[in-house]
Amino acid sequence: MLATFASTNLAFGQNEFYNNNKFKQLDEELPTPNVYRTGSGAPGHEYWQQKADYVIEASIDEKLHRLTGAETVTYFNNSPDVLTYLWIQLDQNMRATDSDTYKIRQNKVGKKTNINQLAAVDGFPDYDGGHKIQKVQDANGKDISYTINKTMMRLDLPQPLQPGEQFSFSIDWYYNINDRLLMGGRGGYETFAEDGNTIYTITQWFPRMAVYDDFNGWQHKQFLGNGEFALAFGDYDVKITVPSDHIVASTGELQNPDDILSDEEKKRFEEAKTADKPVVIVTQKEAEKKEKTKESGTKTWHYKATNVRDFAFGSSRKFIWDAMGVDINGKTVMAMSYYPKEANPLYGQYSTEAVAHTLEVYSKHTIDYPYPVAISVEASNGMEYPMICFNYGRPEKDGTYSPRIKYGMISVIIHEVGHNFFPMIINSDERQWTWMDEGLNTFCQYLAEQEWEENYPSRRGPAENIVNYMKGEKNNISPIMTNSESIKQFGNNAYGKPATALNILRETIMGRELFDYAFKEYAQRWAFKHPKPADFYRTMEDASAVDLDWFWRGWFFTTEAVDIAIEDVEYKELDTQDPKVEEKKRKGERDNQPKDITSIHNEEVNLGRRVDRKPELKDFYNSYDELDADYEDYEAYKKYQKGLNSNDKAWIAAKKYVYQVKFKNIGGLVMPIIIELQYEDGTSDKKYIPAEIWKMDDEVVSKVFVCDKPVAQLVVDPNRETADIDTENNYFPRQTQISRFQLYKSGASQPRTYDSGQLNPMQKAKKNKK
């Protein structure tokens, strides 16, 4: 049994009882509703957001691994405010030699330290990946003054920008692309030793407008690496120049297929639109041929994308390309995959199907996928951008793969494609709140995984899978409501816990009907807008009529865990008040009392008692039994009977079994009590007691169960749906937990542990056959 956890203190003020009440409404924690964001969680009648359009020309220099670009930004001030400056994000400055990202990284030298780690302790001295800004000008070609503060650039407007006005400016820049496998990063390049070719994944690559909104003003928290981005929506017109034999995978729609694609490729692409399985547009054979010839000319791919918050692309002559049309409510979306031969046969078989599956399942639970394409690129990682994402999935050289690679790949594709919805369309502030996109997305990922195949091995979503994290050392975990850069245990905190919490809401607390409606309502309200945590919390309540403040408070604002114990069960038998019946019972109970030890020993020695030897010493009290019913008892019983109507009598006649159960909240999180009464005859009943039972006392509550038959065992949370961290105390009587051990003789070989081999199951199966 675990000790009671101290609750994370998020309350203010003096009154401890009031402030620690787990059902206290969130009024103090949530911002006051206003004309921009309503108390219902919907955008207000004066909601506004900024817009930024981009025209960009970029080119990759394959020899230098350098990206050069020129962009024109048109910024629309839809706010009611006059702006005197604009803030622009220079994410690549995270890779500048003097980057804070390197400086704030904690390091230690272990007994065995990797040389690369030690060389990179202050970053990479020979590599400057920062944004080189060459020119910033207004529409008339006049220089604009600007100040760079690490990953942020302030552009001082020549004239204040009035509400409703727009301002255009251009920036010329370049940066050195990072070696992604050596230095890490969401984008970069990967060169394949065998053939000397490179896959570029170009992300966070151009100076991008920061968000200005009603909530924060400018969101210009420095980019340190964990907190992703806050970005405004806009339209993009992008020309990408790459080596002429490269295939580009990109956000948006290709505008110049006639300049770029062969007739055969265009024909295959047309076929793919109506195909019911992926059609290969660039084959492995064709890609392999290009790997050897390595053309030296260039080609320019022209893309347009409407109403997106960002733009990314991949480029390589190694790319195999397949596609399949997906019907989303009557509109055809092209699900597509780009991957090197190293990812086959796995990627070819599953990637585009996983993209299509994600679009279908997410569209059902949120909004119809609105963009023309959705792309999965194999780049041995996992990172998302509008319409395009980069994932992993490379089998062994012999084409076999472990279940971890197969399901990991399908899951990462679902996850990253799923990010199109959160946060690319339901555009939350990632730099502030990781859970708002990762948590909601991981929850939907779980739904999509479970719709992929039966018993899909989902890592996150089921309540059981978060238990180890929830019972962890309190100093090593943070509340979900923690800024992205300060989260301890990132994956569990911002992905696993919120995904599990939402699944518990759906399956246990709200039920699927209420939950699904409210969740979809949130997605619809905030699609192509910028929601904040309160907008989510409020919408889920507003659309369902379920008070969830206690749930958000416990699961999102604290680090408490669920541990509900059955502390005690008392069997309460009905007193019939019938003197005859009760007399028999009373005497039976007395006669069944254990004998005291002196009496037992006296019987053994056959102690001859005086009164037995001299019966004349006996009087009334030697035969009197205080448990005998007397005339008063009979009179009282008659009176009692008279007072009962026929319903009362019937109820009493039907023999009831009454159990008084004491529950203890050890973990701190209040939750519904789900209890299964398992009867002696093998049947059972499951009862659901809402969390509000803890309203007056969140430590101990008692509940009476009136049953028609005797109960053999009581079990709290029998289906493990609440993430209870100690299930031993969920049973009454307690159940012995069985664990197994193996015996072996010293000197003999040790027993084999399950799955200890180096071969994956597909390889083992081949060996088994031999």
Residues that bind Zn ion in the complex, under the rule CB under 5 A: 438
- Quote the least distance from Cβ 495 to Zn ion, whole Å: 7
DSSP string, 11-78: --SS-HHHHH-TT--GGGTSPPP-SSB-TTSSBPTT----EEEEEEEEEEETTTTEEEEEEEEEEE--
- What is the distance between the alpha carbons of residues 726 and 457, in angstroms, rounded to a whole number? 23
Distances 563 to 472, 509, 759 between C-alpha atoms, Å = 13, 17, 40
- Quote the least distance from Cβ 74 to Zn ion, whole Å: 30
In three-state secondary structure terms, 213 is: strand
| CB-nearer residue toward Zn ion: 341 or 419 | 419
Q: Are 750 and 744 in contact (CB under 8 A)?
A: yes
- Quote the least distance from Cβ 433 to Zn ion, whole Å: 13
In three-state secondary structure terms, 390 is: strand
- What is the distance between the alpha carbons of residues 354 and 534, in angstroms, rounded to a whole number? 32
Cα angle, residue 147 at apex, residues 145 and 149 outer, rounded to 5°: 170
- Quote the least distance from Cβ 444 to Zn ion, whole Å: 11
Radius of gyration of the chain (CA): 35
| CB-nearer residue toward Zn ion: 161 or 414 | 414
| CB-nearer residue toward Zn ion: 384 or 535 | 384
- Quote the least distance from Cβ 496 to Zn ion, whole Å: 12
Q: Which two tokens stand for residue 188?
A: 């970069």
| CB-nearer residue toward Zn ion: 440 or 711 | 440
Residue type, 573: E
| CB-nearer residue toward Zn ion: 438 or 698 | 438
| CB-nearer residue toward Zn ion: 381 or 729 | 381
- Quote the least distance from Cβ 384 to Zn ion, whole Å: 6
Placement of tokens 């604002």 in the chain: 557
| Exposed/middle/buried for residue 481 (C-beta within 10 Å: 0-12, 13-18, 19+) | middle
| CB-nearer residue toward Zn ion: 52 or 440 | 440
Q: Are 48 and 78 in contact (CB under 8 A)?
A: yes
- Quote the least distance from Cβ 478 to Zn ion, whole Å: 18
Q: Are 277 and 351 in contact (CB under 8 A)?
A: no
| CB-nearer residue toward Zn ion: 441 or 730 | 441
Which DSSP helix (H) or strand (E) runs through 623?
A: helix 620-623
- What is the distance between the alpha carbons of residues 400 and 759, in angstroms, rounded to a whole number? 10
**How far is the first Cα of the chain from the last one, in angstroms, to the nearest whole number?**
51
| CB-nearer residue toward Zn ion: 422 or 550 | 422
| CB-nearer residue toward Zn ion: 226 or 577 | 226
Largest CA distance in the chain: 132
| CB-nearer residue toward Zn ion: 311 or 495 | 495
- What is the distance between the alpha carbons of residues 523 and 105, in angstroms, rounded to a whole number? 36
| CB-nearer residue toward Zn ion: 438 or 535 | 438
Other CB atoms within 10 Å distance of the CB of residue 182: 14
**Phi, psi at residue 351, to the nearest 5°?**
-60, -55
| CB-nearer residue toward Zn ion: 414 or 715 | 414
Residue nearest to Zn ion (CB): 438
| CB-nearer residue toward Zn ion: 71 or 438 | 438
- Quote the least distance from Cβ 413 to Zn ion, whole Å: 12
- What is the distance between the alpha carbons of residues 75 and 55, in angstroms, rounded to a whole number? 12
- Quote the least distance from Cβ 419 to Zn ion, whole Å: 6
SS (H, E, C) 223-267: CCCCCCCCCCEEEEEEEEEEECCCEEEECCEECCHHHHCCHHHHH
Which residues are CB-contacts of 77 (< 8 A; sequence separation ≥ 6)?
50, 83, 161, 162, 163, 164, 165, 166, 167
Q: Which of 298, 318, 175 is nearest to 241 (CA)?
A: 298
Q: Are 93 and 148 in contact (CB under 8 A)?
A: yes
- Quote the least distance from Cβ 387 to Zn ion, whole Å: 16
| CB-nearer residue toward Zn ion: 390 or 522 | 390
- What is the distance between the alpha carbons of residues 516 and 380, in angstroms, rounded to a whole number? 34
Taking each helix axis as running N to C, give the angle between helix 434-450 and helix 497-504, from 0 to 180 degrees, rounded to the nearest 10. 60
- Quote the least distance from Cβ 243 to Zn ion, whole Å: 31
- Quote the least distance from Cβ 186 to Zn ion, whole Å: 11
- Quote the least distance from Cβ 555 to Zn ion, whole Å: 20
| Exposed/middle/buried for residue 662 (C-beta within 10 Å: 0-12, 13-18, 19+) | middle
- Quote the least distance from Cβ 485 to Zn ion, whole Å: 16
Count of H-run helices and E-run strands, the chain? 23, 30
| CB-nearer residue toward Zn ion: 223 or 303 | 223
Q: Are 407 and 321 in contact (CB under 8 A)?
A: no
Other CB atoms within 10 Å distance of the CB of residue 301: 24
Share of the chain residues as helix, strand and coil, in percent rounded to the nearest 5: 35, 25, 40
| CB-nearer residue toward Zn ion: 466 or 669 | 466
- Quote the least distance from Cβ 441 to Zn ion, whole Å: 6
- Quote the least distance from Cβ 763 to Zn ion, whole Å: 31
Q: Which of 34, 5, 3, 100 is nearest to 670 (CA)?
A: 5
Residue type, 738: I
- Quote the least distance from Cβ 390 to Zn ion, whole Å: 12
- Quote the least distance from Cβ 249 to Zn ion, whole Å: 19
| CB-nearer residue toward Zn ion: 8 or 226 | 226
- What is the distance between the alpha carbons of residues 513 and 501, in angstroms, rounded to a whole number? 17
